Amino acid sequence: MGSASTYKHWVDGLVEDIIAYWGEDTRTINCSCGLSVSGLQHVGRLRGEVTMTNTVMHQLRARGFRTRHTIVRYTSDPWKGKETQLAQFADPEEAKQYTGHRLVDVPDPKGELSDWTARYWLDFGGVLDDFSRDAQVLSTHEIYAWPAMRAVVRHAIEHRDLLREVVNRYRSRAPYQPEWIPIDIVCEKCHRIDTATVTAVDLKAYTGDYRCDSCGHQGTTSLLTGKLSWRVEWAALWKVLDVGFEPFGKDHATPGGSRDSCKEIAEQVFGFKPPFPYAYEWVGLIEGGVDKGDMGSSDFRGFTPRTWVSVAPGEALRYLFLKNKPMKRITVGLEYVPTYVGQFEHAERVYYGLDTPKASSEEIADTRRSYELALLEAPPANPPLRVPYLHAAVLAQVVPSDKLDAAAIAKLAQSNLIPRKLSKPERDYILTLERRAKTWVDYYAPPSYRIQVIDKPPSGLNKTVPPALRVLYKQLVDRLDPKEWTEPAIRDAMKEVTGPLGRDEAMQHEFFRLIYRVFFGIDEGPRISPFFAFTDSGLVLDRIRYLATSPR
């Protein structure tokens, strides 16, 4: 590994490559991404389409380039009617009638919003500001009405012989025939967009004659509700949106695959230089320690960005995506939220020099730069006062829910986790984190993180305490001072008392296991120091004395 002086974050390297690709004289490099609203808009889609693209856009802007970030929703794609999609409706059998319809023409399964895409965009687009800044959302069913897109559609149809020649290089098993017209249109009778064969077009009237292979209907309809064949559509959108950079999932990155075919369409049919290419790996879902496979939209596998921001800051997920190189597979699960937020908190402390990890200078530089890029606003000059997520999770369980904000601030001040007056941004962040931690505990935390203090110690528990540990518990009672009942003081006391155990992992484990047993009746639980700090000192000392007392 190199030194910090030679280190370069992958985002910075990518931006330099994009600039080199277009040339130093270019002053406009637009960024774009696309996704199909075929179902659940999961957090995995935040990796390339949102986090990477938005970060690159802002880095280009910082270097003086004119740029924008467009998120293209593929709303004209056909609805496949998969079992997982049908299951969203109260009557899956009745919903089969929508198979093949444009996504935007499928009704909202709950009957509340305008259509299918509005329903499943709600919990993604509705919280985009938690993961990006200044992103523009577009929909293909609207783009097809733009004059610029109509011009590209005409060009594609007028040059369909050349287009067929290019595309067929990648369709050796099922090449398009000479009569092929590169646009799909909606059947006026059955409303499918995936079964109407276009037999002729009138580009002046902007209409197409068709024969529906599903219902047999023949007719003439507008091209405005149609869509180009998908390879052609991808290249057409590049041209219309003047895209200079667009990342794509690894499935498009295979040599000789779809991305290569679109590159040729752009160069040979539409006559422009395609965007700078960059591939990224999918995001997997992990539940109960089991990798459930890649998150999937139409498969409804994963969870939404709205769910994420209910339990954690958006910037913590951005950090996870930016700290790892794009082609490294990442798994994300709600039960592990404290780990992800903890990594972000650690990075913040490293950035401000509050922590000095035992790592190479390059790794420290990478942590600092990843944190900086993950932020949606410029970092404050001085380190903000923070409360660790796991502390917030413990606190959320020991203060009254109906007085969470006031009680939380009071307990944090009492335990010395807030040693000074908070600024408004600090207070807002801490209270929001507290609410998020409570949501996580209530809905997603594993049992070991849930606190329920038992009424009294389990019968006969003190008979099982080894003599050596009984001595340590006695020392802990003497060392803990009710007049200095703060988390740092309690943590120091714990370290001092357990120090003699050294590397005796078995005895260390037993020391804490018995504490968990005496308070919760289970063998594991939350971090002890913050739990003690947020709990009545009398109760804590009584239970530790019980462990220190020899049974009669």
Model confidence band, residue 2 (pLDDT cutoffs 50, 70, 90): very low
| Rounded Cα–Cα distance for residues 2 and 298 (Å) | 43
Percent of the chain predicted with pLDDT > 70: 99
461-548 is classed CATH 1.10.10? yes
**Cβ pair 118, 110 in contact under 8 A:** no
CATH class held by domain 10-280 = alpha beta
**Scanning the structure block, which residue is given the tokens 């002046």?**
204
Q: Is the pLDDT of residue 541 over 90?
A: yes
Q: Give the count of beta carbons closer than 10 Å to the beta carbon of residue 34.
A: 19
Query: Among 363-372, 403-412, 437-446, whose mean pLDDT is lowest?
Result: 403-412
Backbone φ and ψ for 486, nearest 5 degrees, come out as: -120, 155
Instruction: Kindly give the pairing relationship between strand 183-184 and strand 227-228.
Output: antiparallel
pTM confidence score? 0.91
Candidates 107, 77, 55, 40; CA nearest to 283 is: 40
Work out the average pLDDT over 125-147. 98
Domain boundaries, the chain: 10-280, 389-445, 461-548
pLDDT digits (tens, 9 = 90+) for 297-348: 999 999 999 999 999 999 999 999 999 999 999 999 999 999 999 999 999 9
Range name among 99-113, 118-132, 446-460 with the lowest pLDDT average: 446-460
Q: E strand or H helix at 200, and its extent?
A: strand 196-202
399 CB neighbour count, 10 Å cutoff: 20
> What pLDDT sits at residue 19?
97
Q: What is the predicted pLDDT for the residue at 415?
A: 84
Rounded-to-integer distance, Cα 198 and Cα 210, Å: 4
Structure token pair of residue 162: 């050349």
- For the chain, what is the mean pLDDT? 94
Alpha carbon separation from 218 to 182, 199, 200, 421, 542 (Å, rounded): 18, 10, 12, 74, 85
